[in-house]
Amino acid sequence: MDNQMKSKLFGVTLLTLAISVLPGCKLPGANSMKMSLPGIEPATSFYANGFPTDLRVDEQGHVDIHDFPRQYHFLTKKYVNSVNGMAERYHTVMPVYLPFTKAIDVDSMSDWDTDYASPDAPIQLIDVDPDSSEYGRRFPLSLSVTKTADQYRPRHLLQVYPTMGFALRPDTTYALIVTDETPLAEINYWQQDPQLGAVLGVASDDIQLPEAVSKTYQPLRDFLNAENLDPQHIVGATVWTTGDPVARFYQGAARIAEKAQQLDQLPVSNVEALVDYPEFCVIRGDVEVPGYQKGVVPFVLKGGQIEWDQSGAPIEQYHRTTEFVVTIPKDMTMPENGYPLLSYVHGAAGIARQVYERGDFDYYDLTRYPYYIAKEGEGPSQIAAQRGWASSGFGGHLSVDHLPEWGVATIPAGFNPFNPDAFSNNYVTITWEQIYFRRILQQLRVDPDLCPEADVGAGQTAFRFDTNNEVSMGQSLGVWGAALKIVADPKPYKGLILGGSGGTWTKTMNSSAIYRLGFNTLVVNQLPFQGFDDAHPFLMLAEWAFGATDLSLNMENMMKYPTKAPPDVIAFSGFHDEIFPDTAQRVTYMALGADLLGEDIGSKPNNTMMPHMELAGANQLAYPASQNFQTPYGDRLNVVMRYRGKNIALLNSGHEVMFEDDEIKHQYGCFLEYLSNGQPPIMSVGTLQGDACL
C-alpha cells in the first residue's frame, strides 16, 4: 500500500472516530420495536412484544406475568401473586408498554389527549374486536417515554395510558399501534422489526408464525385491511383482550341483596330513641351483617380474600353487629309508601352517627377524630328533614364503630397498600354491607312512640322508609361506598350526592407530592428521586389488583353504560382538597360524564377542572341546570360544582366543603325536594340552608 493510500485510510479512520465521539455528533440509527415472539425466539425481557399482549394469555384467560421485573422486592412479589390469583385477562384501566431500541420524541408530540383519538394520529389505541359495538373506536391517550432504565423499566420504553376517566370496555380486544409518522429523537429513522412485519401480514419468507401467535394478531390485521392501512407503516403494535374486573363484585352484590330480601327475621335489636332535635328525632339500633373476607380484621399484612361457592355466591366467613341510626322528620306526615330516605355513607374513621353529627365546625377536641368537632344535629340529617326526608347512617366495615379500639388508625386500615389481597376487597365489603343494610331498612318498622312529635299518618302503625325513593350520599372514603352501592345494587337509586371524591386508584395514590413520596419510598421502596409516574409498573399492578373497586370504572358503568335506571348526580369539589387533589377528583367527574356547573376555581393545570374535563366532552354550564346528561332511561342532572373551603381548623381545605357551606346545603336540600316531588332536579345558585327552591 503506497503512502498516499495509507494517508487516505488514516484520514477516513480519524473522521469516523471524530464523528462517533464528538458530543452531539452521532450516526443515524434504526429504531425498532423489540420483538421475541413465542416459538421463534425466547423473550429476554418482560416488555418484549409489548404489554399487555394476548401472547401471555392461556385458554382459561389467565395472564402469565411470571417474569415481571423486581420480584426480589417483597411487595412487588406480593402484588404479582395477588394479580396471578385473580387475573382473568387484562384490567380495563392500565397503561400499555412498547419497548423500542431508540428514543421516541414525545416532547415534540401533542399533549392534548384527544388528538390521539383521530385516525390520522401517529399513535392510536383502537377497538379491533369485530363483536364490539364500539368497533373502530379510538381513545384519547397520555404518552411518555423512559429516558433512563430503572429497576422496573428499560430505557426507551413507550408508555401509553388511555386518558384516566376513559376505561376500556370489558371482554373486548384492543390494539395499540405506532406508525412511522411518530417523531424520533436525534437523527434516527424507523425500521420495522421483521417479526412485527410478519404478524401484521407483511410478506416474509424467513419467519413462520406459530398458529397461536398469528391468531393473536388476527383482529389487528383484519382492522388494517378494513381501513386500507398499509401494515408496512406500523412500527410498533400489541393486541390484547380485557376481562371484566367488576363481574364478580356485581354478582356477589346481587346474591347478597337476594339473601337479605329473603330473611325470615330481621337481625335488628336494641332499637331505641337516642336524641331529639327541633327538626328530627334520632333512633338507634344494632344490626347484624355477614362478612365475606377470610382472616382477622383489619387484615394488616395477610388475609382479606373472598371465597366463592360453585353457584357463584360469596362464602360467609363471619357475622358482626354494628350500630345504625335513622332519623325521622317532624314537620311532614309520612307518605303512604314511607319516608324518602337519604342514605349517608361515612368516610374513614367514621361512625353511623355522623349522618346527623357532621355540621359546621364548632370547637377543637384533639382527643377525637375529626379533631374539629361539628355542631351535632346540623349534619345531613337536618338538611334532609327540612325537605321531608328521613336519613340513615350505618357503622361500616373498618369504621370506628367496627373497630373502636383502633380509633383514628382505622384510616390507614382503609387505605392499606401492604396487603393487596385485602385492599380492594375491603371496599367490596363496605359496598356489600350497605346493600344488605338497605334491604333491612326496606323491611324495618319503627314504633311511632320513639318519635312522638312526628306524624305517622292516618291508618299507619309504624314509621317506614321508601327505598324506591332513596338518595345515596358520601364524602371522602364514603364516596366509594355511596357510589359503588348504586352501580352494584340491582335496585336503582334516585340520586347520588358526592363530596371529596378520589379517582382511579392510580391517581388516588399518586395525585400529590406527599402521596407520591410516601408510596414511592414506603411501599415501593425506591429512593425519592427515582421515577414514579402514573404509568409506573408497580402502580399498574396495584390498579390491576384493585380493579373491581376502581371508582372511575364504576362511575362509567353507572352513567355511560347503565344496566338499570341511573341516578341524578350532584358533586361538590373543594378547592385545595389536601386529601384528594383536583388531579384525582376530575378523573371521577370525567368518568361520570358530568358537566362543570358555575365557576371553575383555580388558575393552574393542577387545581382546575377545565380544560381537563373537556377531554370527556364536558361543558361549563351557567346556573341553573337540569337534565343535562342523556341516558337510555331518560335525561339526568349530572354536574359538579366547585367551592372554597371555609373550615379554619383544616386550613380552609376543600375536603370538607359539603358540611361547611350554606350554599351547598341549600343546593342538595333542593335536590332532595325535587326528587321527593317526582320532578327533575334543577340546580340553581345556592343561597341559605332551608331557603325555597326555584
Res 86: pLDDT: 81
Burial 575-588 (b: 16+ CB within 10 A, else e): bbbebbbbbbbbbb
CB contact at 8 A, 620 and 600: yes
Q: What's the CA gap between 656 and 647, in Å, rounded?
A: 8
**Average pLDDT of the chain, as a whole number:** 94
The answer, yes or no, to whether residue 210 has pLDDT greater than 90, is yes
Res 15: pLDDT: 38
Res 646: pLDDT: 85
The answer, yes or no, to whether residue 269 has pLDDT greater than 50, is yes
Which band of pLDDT confidence, cut at 50, 70 and 90, is reported for residue 205? Answer: confident
pLDDT tens figures, 331-341: 899 999 999 99
pLDDT tens figures, 212-246: 999 999 999 999 999 999 999 999 999 999 999 99
Mean pLDDT of 114-123: 98
Res 26: pLDDT: 66
CB contact at 8 A, 49 and 35: yes
Whole-model pTM: value is: 0.94
pLDDT tens figures, 5-15: 444 444 434 43
* Residue, of 290 and 10, whose pLDDT is higher: 290
The answer, yes or no, to whether residue 420 has pLDDT greater than 80, is yes
CB contact at 8 A, 319 and 288: yes
Cell of 418: 401492604
Q: What's the CA gap between 33 and 236, in Å, rounded?
A: 6
Which band of pLDDT confidence, cut at 50, 70 and 90, is reported for residue 467? Answer: confident
The answer, yes or no, to whether residue 2 has pLDDT greater than 60, is no
The answer, yes or no, to whether residue 185 has pLDDT greater than 70, is yes
The answer, yes or no, to whether residue 315 has pLDDT greater than 90, is yes
Which band of pLDDT confidence, cut at 50, 70 and 90, is reported for residue 18? Answer: very low
Q: What's the CA gap between 314 and 96, in Å, rounded?
A: 32
Res 25: pLDDT: 55
* Residue, of 360 and 486, whose pLDDT is higher: 486
| Amino acid at the residue 26 | K
pLDDT tens figures, 448-461: 999 999 999 999 99
Mean pLDDT of 332-355: 96
Which of 96-105, 345-354, 405-414, 538-547 is predicted with the least confidence, judged by mean pLDDT? 405-414
pLDDT tens figures, 81-103: 999 988 789 999 999 999 999 99
Q: Cell 420504553 maps to which residue? A: 157
Res 360: pLDDT: 87
